[in-house]
Structure 1
Amino acid sequence: MFEQKTISIETASYDKSAIIYYDQKITPKACILYFHGGGLLYGHKEDLPEGHLIKLTEAGYVIIAYDYPLAPTAKLPMILDDVRDSIHHYIDHAEDYCGQKLPYFLWGRSAGAYLCLIAAAYGYFETPPAGILSYYGYGFLCDHWFQTPSAYYKTLPPVDASCLSHLPSGYETNGDLNTHYSIYVYARQTGKWFSLLYEGREKYFYLDYTLRTCQSLPCPLFAAHATNDTDVPFDEFRELITRYNPRTFIAACNVHDFDREADNQFTPRLLDATIDFLDKHI
């Protein structure tokens, strides 16, 4: 069974920490730096299902789950700078995390996968990652879907713009589902998601915060997606795999984060494929 500990990371703007999951009985092979999902508007670093933590730590991987500041208070430049700082912190202080220098992988689910992909594509790390795990991630490679109302979210009860008025004034790293999910629903129902994440000329968004100008990644990629994903179009996944030829895992279902359910038939197969990818690229 895994154990966990927390490490504080100094920042100028807000309290930040990372949770380290490990199995003390297993000799570690590598670390996995994890960034959570939530459309950059909600979510928190403790969202990994227990089954994922057990299986990966038993396979010899130390998982390090990080905070990052959430939109709309923080915008994409700040969020990505923070993610890059977290990666640099691991590279520079690996012994503080796991007692030794180990290779590292980047792992994100949904928005976290997006952050990992962009950070790796444009991060210029002294020690590059051994690989990237993208669970239903994206690179804003296809037009329109992130700037127009979502057909799926339009089927949910409408959420009013007043949801934004309940946000605290400072930076947040923990967006609870009960209090922050409505902001994401509002953003996707109205097509205002993009405007909550980014301020500035669209030209620089496409240059600096999408994968459209990135011809290759600095490491191998594992990409998983559901065929009828409700949040990220399957076409976005197709563009991702066309560009980077990753190891792929496709789930024939209509759930975005299909692995959150332990009894989903695809979850154990996804974890097995993930471990196989990790073992081959250490």
Structure 2
Amino acid sequence: MLEKKEFEIPSEKFKKGATVYTDSDTPVKAAIIYFHGGGLLYGRRKDLPRPHLNILTQAGYAIIAFDYPLAPAAKLEIIMNDVESSIQYYIDHSDELIESPKSSEGSLPYFLWGRSAGAYLCLIAAAKGTYTQAPAGILSYYGYGFLCDNWFKEPSRHYCTLPKVPESALCVIPEGIHADGDLDTHYSVYVYARQQGNWIDLFYEGREKFFYLDYTLRACDKLPCPLFCAHSTGDTDVPFSEFTELSNKYHAKRFIVSGTEHDFDRDTENPFTQKVLDETVAFIEKCLNK
């Protein structure tokens, strides 16, 4: 049976929490640290569909979903520092977060899992490699490393087909640093940013040179662990060319979906959803059994 526990995580900047999912009938053999998507502008940690939670926890993996601060109130340096601190928090406090006989012997092996922007955060965090325990693998669902030019700095063809969102949408979201970005208030800001082609301006301040050096994968030749990448061929948010560059650069295990949905696994009836979860479990098992 799926069990859920809530934890308050120390943070000076905002109210931060984590949700831990386990299966009461299955011993935990590894942890999956999860970060949600939403273009760094919207979303919440409790966005995983029930089938994802059931399949992964029943396979023996605890899922720990952490909050992180959202742009534009928090810029990328603050966001990344928080994500990195969440990963280290797991390493230092795994025995408190997960009840497992193995956790008493030290931190369980862990995987970083993100969807879309969450995958981007996992990839950049892993590339920095500053943790006392390295991840055993990275699970990137339609993630990116800003490896290809222009797509993130130009008006999106897809989003420009939607009704135009005015700049006043920015006035609706809170000014203070926060982690919960409701679709009703925050999603329109992402649409506005993609229509205008000014997306990165909402989450990064500084010289473009340092964005490419510090917050993309362009200068990272090797990740500290194996990578699993899932992507749609006609993804409307993140071009397939970005997936190709990412998976080629790090020799990733690929899962390719024929379709145009960005977050294809949101549809739990989609046969690709079951398949990607099965492939995810197989990837984790292979990493653990090396």
Q: Considering the TM-score relative to the shorter chain, is it more than 0.5?
A: yes
Measured against the shorter chain, the TM-score band is over 0.9
Q: Which residue of 2 aligns with 1:7?
A: 7
Shift of 1:124: 1.5
Q: Which residue of 1 aligns with 2:23?
A: 23
Shift of 1:48: 0.3
2:117/2:143 contact within 8 Å kept: yes
Q: 2:221 is aligned with what amino acid?
A: Q
Matches within 5 A, 1:185-264: 185-264=191-270
In the alignment, the residues of structure 1 paired with residue 162 and residue 44 of structure 2 have an alpha-carbon distance, to the nearest angstrom, of: 23
Seq. identity, %: 59
In the alignment, the residues of structure 1 paired with residue 174 and residue 247 of structure 2 have an alpha-carbon distance, to the nearest angstrom, of: 39
Question: CA RMSD of the aligned region, Å?
Answer: 0.7
1:225/1:250 contact within 8 Å kept: yes
Matches within 5 A, 1:35-54: 35-54=35-54
Q: Which residue of 2 aligns with 1:78?
A: 78
In the alignment, the residues of structure 2 paired with residue 169 and residue 187 of structure 1 have an alpha-carbon distance, to the nearest angstrom, of: 17
What SS does the corresponding residue of 2:158 show, helix, strand or coil? helix
Q: Which residue of 2 aligns with 1:113?
A: 119
Q: Which residue of 2 aligns with 1:167?
A: 173
Question: How high is the TM-score relative to the length of structure 2?
Answer: 0.96
What SS does the corresponding residue of 2:241 show, helix, strand or coil? helix
Question: How high is the TM-score relative to the length of structure 1?
Answer: 0.99
1:84/1:123 contact within 8 Å kept: no
Q: 2:97 is aligned with what amino acid?
A: Y
Shift of 1:162: 0.1
Shift of 1:61: 0.5
What SS does the corresponding residue of 2:65 show, helix, strand or coil? strand
2:129/2:224 contact within 8 Å kept: no
1:201-249 per-residue CA deviation (whole Å, 9 max, x = no partner) reads: 0000000000000000000000000000000000000100111001110
Q: Which moved more, 1:63-72 or 1:7-16?
A: 7-16
Q: Which residue of 2 aligns with 1:281?
A: 287
Q: Which residue of 2 aligns with 1:32?
A: 32
Shift of 1:123: 3.5
Q: Which residue of 1 aligns with 2:183?
A: 177
2:62 is the counterpart of 1:62: yes
In the alignment, the residues of structure 1 paired with residue 121 and residue 258 of structure 2 have an alpha-carbon distance, to the nearest angstrom, of: 25
In the alignment, the residues of structure 1 paired with residue 27 and residue 10 of structure 2 have an alpha-carbon distance, to the nearest angstrom, of: 29
Q: Which moved more, 1:8-17 or 1:79-88?
A: 8-17
2:115/2:143 contact within 8 Å kept: yes
In the alignment, the residues of structure 1 paired with residue 58 and residue 248 of structure 2 have an alpha-carbon distance, to the nearest angstrom, of: 33
1:151-195 per-residue CA deviation (whole Å, 9 max, x = no partner) reads: 000000000000001121211100011111000000000001010
What SS does the corresponding residue of 1:6 show, helix, strand or coil? strand
1:45-65 per-residue CA deviation (whole Å, 9 max, x = no partner) reads: 000000100010010000000
> Deviating runs (4+, > 4 A) in structure 1?
none
In the alignment, the residues of structure 2 paired with residue 169 and residue 78 of structure 1 have an alpha-carbon distance, to the nearest angstrom, of: 15
